Structure 1
Amino acid sequence: MLLLLIFAISCNTTFAQVQDGWDEWQKTSCYSNISFRLKHEGKRGEQHVWQVQFKNDYNSLISFNYHISETSGQYDTTTHRKTLNKAALSEPLEVFTAGEDIFLLVDKVSLSPYPKDYINCDTR
């Protein structure tokens, strides 16, 4: 009986972790120490609702621009600058799109909180 109870609790914990809705972490196309993940939360009215979260794997504070769009190559839905401490996760960001696709670009990465002295792409 005790073994069955432990198994049931274990299954519920595993199920909750799998069902949280987040995609796997992905490296950005240009910076191997910046990762992101997406979560599609369905629709509100006619708009698709997404959560986006960033992770900093650099050994220092970084800042970067991120662009989110519904069309590959046209990054105009949102453009913002984000600052993350060493080994930090961002708070989830909410984004709305008309379609079911979302594209993300990270650029202008700096090892400071200011948009200057950008580092080069390290994955090419």
Structure 2
Amino acid sequence: MIQAHPYCRALIVIGAISYLYARCTRVLYESIIAIPSLGVQFETHRGTSLFTWSVKRTFVSLAELDDLILNEALYGWNVRYYMAALYRTEGREIRLHVAYENILPRYAVLRPVLHDLHQYLNVV
């Protein structure tokens, strides 16, 4: 019987673990939940197509929220649009939380979402 070199076994194990990690931390979907009179919650769901392994939630209260904006950024030779919440922390420091930062939908998708959020939350 032929035995594999110990380094080959280690490489196979490391490769298998890397593959599983990549499959289990893949972004399944991202969402924005607007709660009138309370604020906005941003969610990122990660996992496999069968199970959600982790959910990252960030809540921005209406008291902290200054505005929801649609901005553009240059990425190489491309222009990418992104939606963000502009808010202030307790120390009055201005922060920016990017929505859909992993999937980065196109402008045609972001604009109606931003419009509806502004109407729903009464943020001008």
Q: Normalising to structure 1: TM-score of the pair?
A: 0.29
Greater strand share, structure number: 2
Q: Normalising to structure 2: TM-score of the pair?
A: 0.29
**Greater RCO (Cα-Cα under 8 Å, separation 6 or more):** 1
Larger radius of gyration: 2
